[in-house]
Structure 1
């Protein structure tokens, strides 16, 4: 049983308070992501890669500021969302031009996916840390598969990549929402928000690839 009224490290918060704050951060990050995608709608792919690297740097920096400055961590989370929007803008523009319907289908599927898996992860009492480790190594293997598929023609490799990615991030979503219920440290909200936002973004991109009907 987890005490939801007395927290570790001197934080006296309820699970609902942490949930509300974390999901507020997720929504704000998503809003900045949308702003970045709009600003970067004419961005070249090279600039998008630079923005992605910048977002990755922000994500790493959050690990160091989380225990030192809440304000700095929140600012880095906002910068992360904005930069990810800039980095993803060329992909979104591609699909918006080729098949706008795929964007709405991917968005709807993502909402249902996250709602279902997030609810299951939040409700389960089974420890999912082992699942998270499996998903981490599976993600590395998937990245290797993606690199190999660039140089070696594999039938339906794009679809296989996306379906496997959805399976992996189903596991991450379950784990991250369980962490959201189990954590009793209000300062962890920005890091939890970053993890959940990444789950949502990756699921959206995988669905976008599926509904966009790309051919190998």
Structure 2
């Protein structure tokens, strides 16, 4: 019997390379009549509440952000900006070269897989188009469940959907949102992905005090799983 029944992943910075905002974000801000830096400031300071879906739909959330940045967007501007934001975040996202092969190998080994992401409305809109989507048994998005990491409920939601106990799960993340200590608190085994490209990753509430297991790449996760009996 394998030591674990499921492997759960963070998305941004874990299944993807480091994330930085591209030029499309500034273009969207200008199209909404706002100073781009003012919009970015609002996005940064309100990430957690937006990721919990506090302001409703994608359009309602973008209206709120724009107004906080001093804009007064017209309905047509918002309607055009919502899919533009999906495109912008997708453009910021580059899957790690080993993400798909590692997920395929986990499935071959009979392990369940899931992603747990603190995210706004855009990720649920574009993740289904990515090649890793069919390799994920479940996708738990904070904006849909109203909880962000490290809230225990977001981890337990993934376990409930996968029909596995927390102690039977390995959780892999770069450490944003205090996700690693949160995973440990519910009984999962957390593993930090410490890939070199993450030094300039856009991250909120980094889990700097975590001192547990770590891997330099997703591929190295398979080696860790091979020697799990020696770790327990």
Into which bin does the TM-score normalised by the smaller protein fall?
A: under 0.3
Structure showing the higher helix proportion among its residues: 1
TM-score computed with the length of structure 1 as normaliser: 0.26
Higher relative CO (Cα under 8 Å, sequence separation at least 6) belongs to 1
TM-score computed with the length of structure 2 as normaliser: 0.25
